């Protein structure tokens, strides 16, 4: 019997290296992926992965790495992830409610149908269960609070594929105050209820056509106060016997952190910065009890288009100090949802001296990249 069922092998950046690291650590694993996502695994590596649409009948802890397998873990009611963590992975409203009930500072959210006049002026409405920036409306673009118009705009943006992956037919809308602060993303690994922070990144967010898009990830030092808050969130969502990854997006305003989103998996779209940091196998290292190390102010700049369409030109000439990972080729069709990591044309990684230097270097890259998109 395996020590772990690792569900979502397409999210592993280097499967042979993962197998080698876990083997050296004496950890037996069963790697799983569904048929659709298996197509994203290099053909020579697929022999290391079992293709299935469902979890096996096993008492081994199930470690989901992507949203499809989080849904399967919810269906199965896996024993190693608490119901609170599973529920919070599918409801932003429940995440906030659960943290508030535990006495923690939390973003106050209400379901759209529960809001009565006087309506909020500075608001953000979003799908209760969603990913990749789908179903988000804010006052800047939408104007005065109109419940009917907001419901229509948010629900019309609910991708059918996303709803299928999330295994969620209830398309509910939550409303919160629009907050302007410093946004972060963090991965944790919880082992028998004890959390460890694996990475802490600042997220530089830009709004493009009414969608929040991550322009850059910047590795930052693990601030003790922030880590303490993250551990409190984990203690609320996970019970003593839980073993699982977890990923939080959060915002800091005047020194206070507020959780925006959570799922019991690792954060996606970060393969490039992991390679640049020379991390041999991020997921395997965490399972083996090690903590991956990103040098402070390591940056992943995401090259984005300002509109969807067909990529007609992409030019990027940079010194060897920059690592460029090209995601789209000339002729490729760019998706409408620019918030998705699948919409990135390229990812550029580099090392900066400090946070201000990281921001300045990332902005200068906009001048060095030439993009042309045809409708």
In whole angstroms, give the CA distance from residue 134 to residue 154: 8
Q: What's 19-49 look like in SS3?
A: HHHHHHCCCCEEEEECHHHHCCCCHHHHHHC
Task: Give ∠ CA 313-317-319 in degrees, rounded to 5.
Answer: 160
Q: What is the pLDDT of residue 262?
A: 98
Q: pLDDT tens for the chain, 375 residues: list them.
A: 899 999 999 999 899 999 999 999 999 999 999 999 999 999 999 999 999 999 999 999 999 999 999 999 999 999 999 999 999 999 999 999 999 999 999 999 999 999 998 999 999 999 999 987 888 999 999 999 999 999 999 998 888 888 888 888 778 999 999 999 999 999 999 999 999 999 999 999 999 988 899 999 999 999 999 999 999 999 999 999 999 999 999 999 999 999 999 999 999 999 999 999 999 799 999 999 998 889 999 999 999 988 889 999 999 989 999 999 999 999 999 988 888 888 899 999 999 999 999 999 999 999 999 999 987
Question: For residues 255 and 225, is the Cβ–Cβ distance under 8 A?
Answer: yes
As a CATH number, domain 4-92+180-287 is 3.30.470.20
In whole angstroms, give the CA distance from residue 265 to residue 151: 29
In whole angstroms, give the CA distance from residue 312 to residue 329: 9
Q: What is the pLDDT of residue 163?
A: 83
Domain-by-domain residue ranges, the chain? 4-92+180-287, 108-177, 298-374
Other Cβ atoms less than 10 A from the Cβ of 239: the count is 16
Distances (CA, A) of 119 to 38, 124, 175, 300: 46, 12, 11, 39
Distances (CA, A) of 60 to 5, 21, 140: 6, 19, 48
Query: Identical fold at 4-92+180-287 and 298-374?
Result: no
Other Cβ atoms less than 10 A from the Cβ of 346: the count is 18
In whole angstroms, give the CA distance from residue 171 to residue 41: 31
In whole angstroms, give the CA distance from residue 33 to residue 87: 22
In whole angstroms, give the CA distance from residue 374 to residue 95: 41
Q: What is the pLDDT of residue 12?
A: 95
Q: What's 343-363 look like in SS3?
A: HCCEEEEEECCCHHHHHHHHH
Crossing angle, helix 92-101 and helix 224-237, to 10 degrees?
A: 100
Q: What is the pLDDT of residue 342?
A: 86
As a CATH number, domain 298-374 is 3.90.1170
């Amino acid at each position: 019997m395996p020590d772990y069922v690792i569900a979502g092998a397409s999210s592993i950046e280097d499967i042979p290296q993962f197998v080698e690291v876990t083997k050296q650590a004496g950890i037996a694993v069963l790697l799983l992926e569904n048929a659709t996502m298996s197509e994203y695994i290099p053909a020579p590596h697929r022999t290391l992965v079992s293709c299935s649409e469902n979890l096996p009948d096993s008492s081994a802890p199930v470690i989901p790495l992507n949203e499809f397998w989080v849904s399967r873990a919810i269906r199965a009611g896996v024993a190693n992830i608490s119901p609170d963590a599973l529920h919070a992975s599918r409801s932003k409203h429940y995440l906030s409610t659960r943290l508030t009930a535990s006495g923690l500072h939390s973003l106050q959210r209400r379901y759209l149908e529960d809001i009565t006049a006087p309506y909020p002026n500075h608001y953000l409405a979003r799908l209760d269960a969603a990913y990749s920036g789908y179903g988000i409306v804010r006052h800047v673009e939408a104007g005065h609070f109109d419940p009917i118009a907001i419901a229509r705009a948010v629900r019309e943006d609910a991708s059918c594929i996303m709803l299928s992956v999330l295994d969620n037919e209830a398309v509910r809308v939550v409303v919160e105050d629009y907050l302007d602060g410093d946004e972060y993303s963090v991965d944790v690994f919880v082992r028998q209820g004890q959390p460890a922070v694996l990475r802490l990144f600042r997220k530089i967010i830009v709004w493009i056509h009414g969608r929040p898009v991550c322009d850059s990830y910047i590795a930052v030092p693990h601030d003790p106060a922030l880590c303490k808050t993250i551990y409190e969130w984990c203690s609320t969502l996970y019970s003593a016997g839980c073993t699982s990854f977890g990923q939080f997006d959060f915002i800091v305003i005047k020194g206070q952190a507020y959780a925006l989103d959570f799922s019991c998996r690792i954060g996606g779209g970060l393969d490039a910065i992991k390679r640049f940091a020379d991390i041999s196998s991020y997921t395997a290292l965490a399972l083996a009890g090690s903590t991956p190390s990103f040098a402070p102010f390591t940056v992943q700049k995401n090259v984005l288009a300002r509109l969807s369409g067909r990529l007609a030109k992409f030019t990027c000439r940079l010194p060897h100090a920059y690592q460029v990972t090209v995601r789209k080729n000339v002729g490729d069709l760019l998706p409408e949802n620019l918030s998705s990591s699948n919409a990135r044309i390229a990812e550029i990684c580099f090392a900066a001296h400090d946070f201000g230097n990281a921001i300045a270097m990332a902005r200068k890259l906009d001048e060095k990249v030439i993009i042309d998109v045809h409708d």
